[in-house]
Amino acid sequence: MSLEAVTPRKGEVAFVWFNGYSGVAIRTPTKTLVIDPADVDSEVFRTVDAILITHEHYDHLDEDVVQKLHKRTHCLVAADSTSAKRLKDFVTGDKLFEMPVGKEIKLGDVSVRAEGYKHPAATPVSYLITTEDGVKVYHTGDSLPHPDMKQVGERSPPDVVFCTVGMPAPGASPQSGLEIVRMVKPKVAVPYHASYVERKRFSELVAKEFPNVKGMVVEQNELAKYP
């Protein structure tokens, strides 16, 4: 797994799903973002411009990994309010951003906006990332479908959406992932946070109901690209 092995061209995004949960590393032409780095060796990420944390659960927030990555790369850390409070003692003050729903930050020409989230956590957020070329990547964490997702789809339909489609996320299933696709109307839907069987079933449901949407089943640590 090495995002450094590829430099996306204009209009491209490379990504790696690096754990069995919602851990995703994304590389745009100029920036590398790591989302929910848990259950992973921090040394696999050589270059990091920003870490994004969706919520405080153990499979999304690993304070030790965040601390090591930030210390080595001096990257920005954006996190939901609960996670931000846990990170404030070892992330440099001007590098830590608390992200309530609706807040948007800039990484050069890349923007990150916090969106709503349905999950039994304290202050969870999802993230809509817009690259310097206008490619939109929607990372939903392990959220179930909720009305805010429809607003995302109406306001700025994503090119790529990551959907939780199975356990251990409470209530998640291939069918709930399909409902997210209905709401946000992406070009590509990537299932994660689930077994291969659940992810494959999701892609079959997407193909049947939305033939113009690509259900992209990727393996852990497999380098993938959009488009």
Task: Please state, in angstroms and rounded to a whole number, the distance separating the CA atoms of residues 29 and 47.
Answer: 13
- Supply the pTM of this predicted model: 0.96
Residue 208, domain CATH = 3.60.15.10
Question: What percent of the chain shows pLDDT beyond 90?
Answer: 92
> How many structural domains does the chain have?
1
* 226 has a pLDDT exceeding 70: yes
pLDDT band of residue 6 (cuts 50, 70, 90) is confident
Average pLDDT, the chain: 95
The pair of structure tokens assigned to 159 is 């090119």
Residue numbers of the domain that contains 99: 3-226
Buried/exposed code over 46-66 (b: 16+ C-beta within 10 A; e: otherwise): eebbbbbbbbbbebbbbbebb
* 154 has a pLDDT exceeding 60: yes
> Residue 1: its pLDDT value, please?
57
pLDDT band of residue 111 (cuts 50, 70, 90) is very high
> Residue 82: its pLDDT value, please?
97
